[in-house]
Structure 1
Amino acid sequence: MKKMMVVGASGVLGKLVCIELLRIFENQINLIVTDYKAERGKKLADSFNGGVQFQYLNVNDEENVKKAVKNVDIVIVVLKQRIPSIQKSCIENKILCIDVTPFYDFAEKVNELNESAEKNYIGSVIMSGFFPGLSGLMVKEAISHFQEVSEVNVGLLQNTNAKAGVAGVLDMLKIIDQPINFQNNVISGFTKKRKMYFLNHNNEKEVRLIKHSEKIPLNDKLVINQINYWTSWNSIAFNKQVSLLRKMGFIKMIHKVNNKLLSKVVHHNPNKNESAFLTVEVKGIVDNQKRIKILSLSTFSDYHMTAMVTASLAKVVHQKNVTGVVYPFEVTSLDELLSIINCPNIIIEEVEK
Structure 2
Amino acid sequence: MAMMDRRRALGALAACAFGPVAARVSAQPGGERFPSRPVTLWVPWPAGGATDLTLRLLAELAGRQLGQKVLIENRAGAGGTLAMPVLQQAAPDGYTIAQMPQPVFRLPHLQKVLWDPIRDTTPILQVSGVTFGIVVPAASPLRSLEDLFTWARARPGELTVATNGAGTTPHMVMDELFERRGLSYLHIPYKGTAEQMLAVSSGQVMVGVNSNGFAPFVDSARLRLLVTFGEHRTRRWPQVPTLKELGQGIVATSPYGLAGPRGMAPAVVKVLHDAFHVAMQDPAHLAELARYDQELAYLGSEDYGHAMRESFAAERRAVERLGLARPATGG
Output the TM-score relative to the length of structure 2. Answer: 0.29
Output the TM-score relative to the length of structure 1. Answer: 0.28
